Structures are given as C-alpha cells and as structure tokens.
C-alpha cells in the first residue's frame, strides 16, 4: 500500500493528501468518554459479511463502536507483502477521532483513522494506494457525543452556542453556523429551510417567531421560541423544536450534499461482491439511499439485498431509544 503525497503517518498507516489526518483535542478523549451505543450492531456485521482478510471502510467512525466490532473480525498480518484485513475509518469530527483512537488502539495498524468527510471516500481510498475495498458502512447523522454536549450546539435541552457544526470548522467550507441562519437569514428562507429539510408543517409560524425574537442567544433560547410558536405540541412525544434543530443541522453541515456525493462515489470504490451498508434515521436521509440503491440496480452495478428495511427490535429500541428510527439498507456491488 502506497502513501499519497503530502501524507502523514497515522496509526502505522499513511493517509492521503487532500484529507486532513490525525486527531485534534486528543487529550480530551478520556474525559469525553465514548457514550455512543452502536445501532443494529449484529445486523451491520451480518450484512457486511466481513472476511478476515478484507479491506473495509467505516465512513462514519463516531465513537468507534461499529469500527471496533469490524476490526475484531479482521486478521492482522500480510500476504505476499501486501497488507490484509484492514479498516479505514473516517469522520469529519476531530473530537470523534480523538475518542475512537483510544478505543481502537488495541488493533494497531489494522485500523486507520482518517479525518475527512465521506464525500471524499474515493480520494481517501485511492490516496491509500487501494483500487477498491470489500465493504463500506455509513451510520448517518450525529453521535450521542455530539448531541449530548451542549457546547457543540445540537442540544435543545441545555443552553449552548448556536453552532451545530460536526467538524468544528476545521475545513475552509465549514464556516456556516446555526447562529448565522437563525439570526441573519430572511424569514422566508428560514421557513423554506424548515419545511424542505425537516418537513416542519409549522415552518412559517416558527420562522416568524424566530425573526421577531432576534437576536436568539443560544440553543435553549431557540428551543423556547420554537415551542412558543408551535400549535398544540403538548400531546406529541417529540420535543417541539426537534424538526427545527434537525433542519438547521442538515443545512449547517451540508448533509444532503455530503450524502449525495457519498452515494454517487461509493459504488466505484467497491470490489465486485463488496457490500454496502447504510443506516439512516429520518426520511430525508433514507429516501436518497433507497433511490441510489434502486438506480444502481437498474444500471446493473448494484444488487439490493434488503428488499425490506431492517429495523431494530423492541429490545434494542428499549435499551437504546436513539435506535428507534434507524433503518438499515444493504446492497452488493455486482
């Protein structure tokens, strides 16, 4: 395996130019802990059909729960001089890489962590001197570590800055924050965003209330303003600001553009027979995945293996409420 130009050594592997590598704020890994529970873990492993000598990509490392389970099934060592049984794990969040690095240390050079968005999956794989890989996993959305830390700005339960960037702004294109949208966007654009990204039916009313309440100070203030604007939310299970926060998060992180690139580029990075597993948590994510798989099948490049989506059983949903909306889809490269 060759290293790309401008690469740096990480966990015994070289990583690529164009994808920033390494972890920031590593010292905080222990302090932050790894509280994210991997969703549909047994099913992910089953559908990925891991071969001990295969090469896999976990496109959404998070706390490394799925990555650790994949790495455990890989054999270390070399065959005819080339490395086998390897996992390349990506995340755009440096804090996640710091946490996962601690957790995955025991696997040594079997696991490589790359700080990159998954839209760059093809560049990362190519930059490592690999033609293709044997399986790709994406567990979309945000992790519990991101959601539960008020200072990241995703939480509507506690006051935090209106940020919501997964990447903490390391990349030049990651400058948009929730603060900018909430306090500066015109009312109509804000309402359109809420409706388009989260199907928020009270979008106009909420946008009007936000504009009236400007400047919005923090996430708790935003949640109160949205709750005040919603009609009859008392009977609903979801917090009234759930959809507003989801729409903002999607826009700030350009999640749909990222997903579109990932869906477009991944098939070319898979060996034939390679498996592609995607976990989604809401319809705005799930629809493009379903469409991409179906179009891949029509074009003769993919075979959809999950005719019906796989969802967590009652036991998992009870033990991990964040798994409730999860849907697993799997396709195989033809």
Ligand X SMILES: C[S@@+](CC[C@H](N)C(=O)[O-])C[C@H]1O[C@@H](n2cnc3c(N)ncnc32)[C@H](O)[C@@H]1O
Q: In terms of DSSP bridges, do strands 111-115 and 86-91 run parallel, antiparallel, or are they unpaired? A: parallel
Q: Does residue 94 contact residue 170 with C-beta atoms inside 8 Å?
A: yes
Q: Which member of 96, 104, 111, 225 binds ligand X (CB under 6 A)?
A: 96
φ, ψ of residue 37 in degrees (nearest 5): -90, 125
Among the listed ranges 80-88, 90-98, 244-252, 308-316, the one in contact with ligand X (CB under 6 A) is 90-98
- 316 near ligand X, rule: CB under 6 A: no
- 127 near ligand X, rule: CB under 6 A: no
Collapsed DSSP state (helix, strand, coil) of residue 40: coil
Taking CA atoms, 192 is separated from 44, 63, 85, 306, in Å, by 35, 33, 46, 34
Structure tokens at 150: 């008020």
Q: Does residue 15 contact residue 21 with C-beta atoms inside 8 Å?
A: yes
- 197 near ligand X, rule: CB under 6 A: no
Q: Does residue 37 contact residue 320 with C-beta atoms inside 8 Å?
A: yes
Among the listed ranges 81-89, 135-143, 157-165, 222-230, the one in contact with ligand X (CB under 6 A) is 135-143
For the chain, the helix, strand and coil percentages under 3-state DSSP, each to the nearest 5: 45, 15, 40
Among the listed ranges 5-13, 92-100, 196-204, 312-320, the one in contact with ligand X (CB under 6 A) is 92-100
Report the nearest approach of ligand X to the CB of residue 91 (Å): 4
Report the nearest approach of ligand X to the CB of residue 217 (Å): 25
Residue number with CB closer to ligand X (7 or 60):
60
Residue ranges of the alpha helices (H) in 8-93?
29-32, 41-48, 65-72
Q: Report which DSSP code applies to 27.
A: G
Report the nearest approach of ligand X to the CB of residue 128 (Å): 16
User: CA-based Rg of the chain, rounded to a whole angstrom?
Assistant: 20
- 38 near ligand X, rule: CB under 6 A: yes
Among the listed ranges 126-134, 141-149, 192-200, 301-309, the one in contact with ligand X (CB under 6 A) is 141-149
Report the nearest approach of ligand X to the CB of residue 116 (Å): 7
Residue nearest to ligand X (CB): 62
Q: Report which DSSP code applies to 106.
A: G
Per-residue x/- mask for ligand X, residues 216 to 255, rule CB under 6 A? Answer: ----------------------------------------
- 4 near ligand X, rule: CB under 6 A: no
Q: Does residue 241 contact residue 182 with C-beta atoms inside 8 Å?
A: no
Please report, as ranges, the residues that interact with ligand X according to CB under 6 A: 36, 38, 60, 62-66, 90-93, 96, 117-118, 139, 141-143, 166, 258
């Amino acid at each position: 395996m060759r290293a790309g130009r401008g690469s740096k050594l990480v966990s015994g592997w070289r990583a690529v130019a164009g994808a920033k590598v390494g972890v920031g704020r590593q010292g905080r890994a222990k302090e932050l802990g790894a509280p994210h529970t991997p969703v549909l873990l047994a099913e992910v492993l089953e559908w990925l059909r891991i071969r001990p000598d295969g090469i896999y990509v976990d496109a959404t490392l998070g706390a490394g729960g799925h990555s650790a389970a994949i790495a455990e099934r890989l054999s270390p060592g070399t065959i005819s001089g080339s490395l086998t049984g390897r996992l390349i794990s990506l995340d755009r969040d440096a804090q996640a890489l710091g946490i996962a690095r601690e957790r995955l240390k025991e696997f040594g050079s079997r696991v490589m962590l790359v700080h990159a968005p998954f839209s760059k999956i093809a560049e990362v794989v190519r930059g490592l001197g690999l033609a293709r890989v044997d399986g790709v996993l994406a567990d979309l959305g945000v992790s519990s570590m991101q959601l539960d830390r008020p200072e990241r700005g995703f939480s509507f339960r506690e006051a935090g800055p209106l940020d919501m960037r997964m990447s903490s702004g390391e990349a030049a294109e990651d400058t948009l924050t929730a603060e900018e949208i909430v306090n500066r966007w015109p009312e109509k654009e804000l309402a359109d965003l809420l409706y388009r990204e989260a199907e928020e039916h009270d979008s106009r009313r909420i946008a009007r209330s936000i504009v009236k309440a400007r400047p919005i100070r923090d996430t708790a203030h935003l949640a109160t303003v949205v709750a005040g604007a919603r009609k009859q939310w008392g009977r609903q299970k979801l917090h009234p600001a759930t959809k507003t926060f989801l729409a903002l998060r999607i826009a700030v992180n350009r999640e749909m553009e990222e997903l579109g690139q990932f869906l477009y580029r991944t098939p070319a990075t898979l060996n034939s027979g390679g498996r592609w597993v995607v976990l989604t948590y809401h319809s705005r994510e799930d629809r493009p995945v379903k469409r991409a798989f179906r179009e891949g099948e029509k074009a003769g490049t993919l075979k959809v293996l999950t005719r019906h989506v796989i969802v967590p059983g009652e036991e998992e949903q009870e033990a991990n409420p964040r798994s409730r909306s999860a849907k697993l889809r799997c396709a195989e490269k033809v």
